[in-house]
Chains A and B, each alone.
Chain A
Amino acid sequence: MKSAPFDYVLAKSIYEATRYLAEGEGEAAVLAGGQTLMPMLSMRMARPSVLVDINGITDLSGIEENNTAIEIKACTRQTELLNSPIVKYHLPLLAQALTFVGHSQTRNRGTIGGSLAHADPASEIPLVALALDAEICLSHVESSRQIPATEFFLGPMMTVCEPTELLVSVHFPLTKKESRVGTGFHEMSERHGDFALVAAAAKIELDNKGSCIDAAIALGGVDGTPVRVTALEKKLRSNGISDNTLESAMELAIPEILEDLNPVSDQHATADYRKRIAAILALRAINDAITEAKGNIA
């Protein structure tokens, strides 16, 4: 388990990194936290010609808050996110999800950008980005672009990010914090810290009467990418929510969820199992979100 040969360059700026990537002609790889790339190198499943180390770029680290969004720079460590009061306050769903990401040691190195760029379909951070309508900023040596999370993920370990592009930051739009929002995150894995078999994220917004005015429900591990369960979101919005309607709304929606999901079978679980627990985890996440949102009204 030793890497194949590669060259190494330490980039000092975003521009320099993108220049190295451009010069790499598609054979370069970005080294961020290395928590996925390094194992893939040592198993020779990744064989870049050059590694572009972005850990020294100060512009790629940090969490910033402006009027419309929270911007998290790509190389911000997962541990820093977990300890961030800004994340806790504005992005509680991300904070909840992060407790399921690996272990403290991997979070000390692992970055938000690395997790998004790696795009494991069962990974927590892509799921949260999708649920929260995040936008992902990509830089090329000559240009940059901002892609909505809904369009970013293409398939298992595949994104729209070109090999010559650098993921520089992710923007989470701010919800108008009017104390009616709740979030919930549930996942199932055999061992704590493993990739989820299935994970579910929910964010629910209620009006003053407790009716649902907005809902974002996303599932991971049920398809080649994390998915938004739009049918369920629609149902929640149109039915409103009261104590006695939630259960029936869910029961109506569950067959729809199951129909659309397309998980894989592997050594850890069958597709059928993933489908069945997806429904229950979604329900639990929604329940938590609603409970929290209701608490926020009172």
Chain B
Amino acid sequence: MRKSKSTNLRYISKKRRVIEDERFVCGTGKFVQDIQLSDTKHIAIVQSPYAKANIISINSKPASELDGVHAVLTGAELANHTDPIRFGLNLPNVTWYPLAVNMVRYVGEWVAVVVADNPYLAEDAAELVEVNYEALDPIIDPEEAYTDSKRLVHPEHGSNILYEGHFCWGPVEEDFAKSDFSLSFRVRWGRSSTVPIETFGVVAEWDEGREMLEIWASIQMPNFVELLASAMRIPLNSVRLHQDVDVGGSYGVKRGIKHAIIVSYLARKLRNPIRLIEDRLINMSSGDAHGPDRIFDTNIAFNKDGKVNSLKIRALDDAGAYPGRGPFQLAKPISAIVGPYKINSVEYDAISVTTNKTGQVPVRGFGQSPTNYMLETAIDRVARHLNQRRLDIRIKNLIKNDEFPYLIPSGSSYDSGDYLGVLQKTLDRADYENLMKRRKNARIDGRLAGIGLATCLEPGGGNNIFEYLMNPSAEITTFTEGCEIKVDPDGLITGVMGTTSSGQGHETLVATIIGEELEFDPALIRVVHADSLNAPVTRSPVASRMAIMLGSAAAGAAQKIKAKALAIAAENLGRPIEKLEYAEGTVFDQINTSHNISWSEICFIAHKAYHKLPHGMEPGMRAHNVFQVPGGGQLPDTDQRVQIYPCFSFQVHIPYVEIDQHTGKVSILNYFVGHDCGTQINPDIVRGMVIGGLAHGVGAALYEKFQYLPDGQFLNATFADYLMPSAYEIPMVTDIEHCTPSPLTSHGQKGSGEGGYLGAPAAISSAVNDALAPRGLSICELPMRSSIIEGLLNNGSTSQ
């Protein structure tokens, strides 16, 4: 791969309009809810009011007799005709159907659905479905779930433990023994999520003549079509997922597999298009879109000079009732288990338990944000213990520029970085000395003021090998992304990608890179999302991977097109390729530039003039390129060391906060973030990702939480009860760019979708704890609601 030649770039890294934006501002985006197929029927859902109960009986007669109602579907019928949803983990005795069969396992679980002419009628009918339950004693607390052998969420599984793994990389005990100090602490990451403004939706139509399922979904998920076909017991190539729908935000959670099975089954049964659009109450309670809910017990060993030597981490994660790919969020952090620090050895115990709560799905960062919160808390605690500056501990332990590629104990090699450079730039821009002065003056005035300092490493590019670490039956080492370029006889260029987008600007990404390679204005390049039967291979836009993977695939495809253009030109100009030069589509003789052939001539020849093609060349002008994740393709070694992600972006977060000591309310008054994701393909997109991720992190740090009562009742089904930050709550952010290109990608780019969210919770926690430090207090859970902070300050307790 080439290194970035940023000085020669025409389009990459330039401020250019994002192609997708114009349709959104005109209200002409096409979201799933905007698809109107004739004679579509609508679904309403009957939900469980209990956290755990046996279903004794269901009487659907009164509902099905209502005018305009076409079907009432129960779990028993669906289970007869479909196969269970496949998990990521190997759990042969845990069964998951879209609608509960015999037992409900969380409040809100889907028990039946009603199909009717419109959503109003469907809800009228859903109210008439009579379900008799026998309430059972649920298990809600993850630590109790870990030890309790009687209250089982899935009795057939025999335990509430879904996964328990022990990893040890390097001489942990030795490193602890020779360290001057060690300290241990517990932090807790509260259950929150990404909560897109568009809920999940899916529309399905069964094409009887072709025996094919046509489906539109606001999806962001690898394996969606495979899982759907398998559950529906139909061949994979009988499912056509239309991916040209705009997805109204996802950040990991838009999976909707159970929704898709229900509408697909009903579409085939009723021979009508069926549509299921979650309403907000369904989305929050039972859309299966909650994120990690994690307790860390960490022990860190260090010397008196601040050098950190080793970590022992125990992570207990509450996956809720049905774990799709959620538990793998314990494995991704292995890819950057030491963060950006030089730490010699790590012990990691990862435990996933099931409880009677909504199921967990992947959330932005895939477990890295909770882990980074724990890791940065550890570094702050070392500083506090040694009475040294948090900054100095970081400077002491950060990996230095000349140490890349840097191999960490768990087997990942970090591609490139300038951690100290980004740190210094951010400190300078924040005027750190002045911030400290401000904090000092505030404290003299009796106010609680704090500066946060956190770094984060954003692994990007993805590699399914984390799955193998937790489930060795999944021997999958291929993690690719493909891109196709088609040039038509008029010379117009179309890029084809194989997946949906949910706001990441992939069309702009592909157009920019093709434009750069072929020297055409990206605004003239069309990018389409092919349906799943026509799509280049894809593993979906997860894991901060599209700039890296799709971008590199697009570059490779463009190079193939260029090579073909050169070959056609060589044939027709009668000159060898190495004597020719390509510029903006035209191919010249290097010596006699008037001897040339234009792009339109080349394209005409490719499509229409077989007699002018080089002998044996395939006609047409299209290229497909598949990019395999760099450094991937290997199974872990015997010590479970493996390269998981290829590229590592880096951020530094410095917020300044003040706390109202009487109400506990935190105000973020300033926020500085330095970021380095290598070459930025489109700087506006990167900036949006950084700030948007950061704002999402503000939510996780201070406001957002899905709460359950001890009996399993769910408390945050509305936007009035789930506190997503508004414009008032997000500070004006100053962002500082830095560029250390990756040697592994087409133009030096790395991922940028997650870093803001990885750094902000840690940084805000750091700031709040800094503000509390003069009182000798600390807070070790997120979100840090005002009531919790006030309780600490005025009552010495952490109870709300």
Contacts and interface: CB of A to CB of B under 8 A. Distances in A.
The reply, when asked whether chain A contacts chain B directly with Cβ atoms under 8 A, is yes
Interface string A271-284: 01100110011000
B790 A276 contact: yes
B721 interface: yes
A2 B120 contact: yes
B787 A270 contact: yes
A182 B267 CA distance: 67
A273 B787 contact: yes
A192 B279 CA distance: 25
Given A2-B123, A43-B281, A270 B723 contact: no
Contacts of B127: 4, 44
A277 B716 contact: no
Given A2-B123, A4-B123, A269-B786, 4 more contacts: A1-B123, A44-B127, A267-B721, A273-B800
Contacts of A4: 123-124, 127
B800 A269 contact: yes
B438 interface: no
Contacts of B715: 266-267
A1 B786 contact: no
A280 B703 contact: no
Interface string A75-98: 000000000000000000000000
Contact of B728 (A192, A268, A277, A280): A192
A277 B662 contact: yes
A5 interface: yes
23 contacts: A2-B120, A3-B120, A43-B718, A44-B123, A188-B663, A188-B665, A190-B702, A190-B785, A191-B703, A191-B729, A193-B726, A193-B728, A194-B720, A267-B707, A267-B716, A268-B721, A268-B787, A269-B785, A269-B787, A273-B790, A276-B790, A280-B663, A281-B663
Interface string B757-800: 00000000000000000000000000001110011001100011
A1 B123 CA distance: 8
A276 B723 contact: no
Nearest to B703: A190
B707 A276 contact: no
B119 interface: yes
Interface of A: 1-5, 43-44, 188, 190-195, 197, 266-270, 272-273, 276-277, 280-281
Contacts of B729: 191-192
B692 interface: no
Most interface-central of A5, A193, A267, A269 (chain B CB within 10 A)? A267
B725 interface: yes
A193 B729 CA distance: 11
A2 B726 CA distance: 26
B186 interface: no
Contact of B791 (A1, A43, A191, A273): A273
Contacts of B725: 191
Contact of A277 (B119, B718, B723, B790): B790
B687 interface: no
Contact of A1 (B124, B279, B787): B279
Given A270-B800, A277-B662, A277-B790, A191 B123 contact: no
Chain B at the A interface: SS class:
loop
Contacts of A270: 787, 799-800
B280 A1 contact: yes
Contacts of A191: 703, 723, 725-726, 728-729
Q: Which 9 A-B pairs have the closest CB atoms?
A: A192-B728, A1-B279, A267-B715, A280-B662, A269-B787, A273-B787, A2-B120, A267-B707, A270-B800
Contacts of A266: 715
Chain A at the B interface: SS class:
loop
Nearest to A269: B787
B662 A1 contact: no
Nearest to A1: B279
A290 to B, nearest CB: 18
Interface in B572-612: none
Nearest to B797: A272
Contacts of A188: 663, 665, 786
A253 B613 CA distance: 96
Contacts of A267: 707, 715-716, 721
Given A190-B786, A192-B728, A277 B721 contact: no
Interface string B107-134: 0000000000001100110010000000
A272 B794 CA distance: 11
B673 to A, nearest CB: 22
A30 B510 CA distance: 54
Interface in B645-689: 662-663, 665
Nearest to A43: B281
Given A5-B124, A190-B786, A193-B728, A277 B663 contact: yes
Contacts of B663: 188, 277, 280-281
B243 to A, nearest CB: 28
A54 B794 CA distance: 48
Contacts of B785: 190, 268-269
Contacts of B662: 277, 280
A244 B43 CA distance: 67
A188 B786 CA distance: 9
Contact of A2 (B119, B720, B723): B119
A145 B125 CA distance: 42
Contacts of B800: 269-270, 273
Contacts of A197: 787
Contacts of A190: 665, 702-703, 723, 785-786
B782 to A, nearest CB: 14
Contacts of B703: 190-191
A197 B790 CA distance: 13
A268 to B, nearest CB: 8
A188 B799 CA distance: 18
A269 B120 CA distance: 35
A190 B667 CA distance: 10
Contacts of B728: 191-193
A188 B794 CA distance: 16
A192 B726 contact: yes
A255 to B, nearest CB: 15
A124 to B, nearest CB: 15
A40 to B, nearest CB: 11
Most interface-central of B120, B715, B786 (chain A CB within 10 A)? B786
Nearest to A267: B715
B726 A276 contact: no
A44 B665 CA distance: 34
B377 to A, nearest CB: 23
A194 B725 CA distance: 11
A18 B791 CA distance: 49
Given A43-B281, A188-B665, A277-B663, A195 B124 contact: no
Interface string B713-750: 00110101101011011000000000000000000000
Contact of A276 (B279, B702, B794): B794
A266 B418 CA distance: 47
A193 B723 CA distance: 11
B565 to A, nearest CB: 54
A266 B787 CA distance: 12
A186 to B, nearest CB: 9
B733 to A, nearest CB: 18
Most interface-central of A4, A197, A268 (chain B CB within 10 A)? A268
Nearest to B715: A267
Nearest to B800: A270
A118 to B, nearest CB: 14
A46 B736 CA distance: 51
Most interface-central of B124, B280, B663, B728 (chain A CB within 10 A)? B663
B659 to A, nearest CB: 13
Nearest to A3: B120
A267 to B, nearest CB: 4
Contact of B720 (A1, A195, A280, A281): A195
B285 to A, nearest CB: 12
Contacts of B123: 1-2, 4, 44
A104 to B, nearest CB: 12
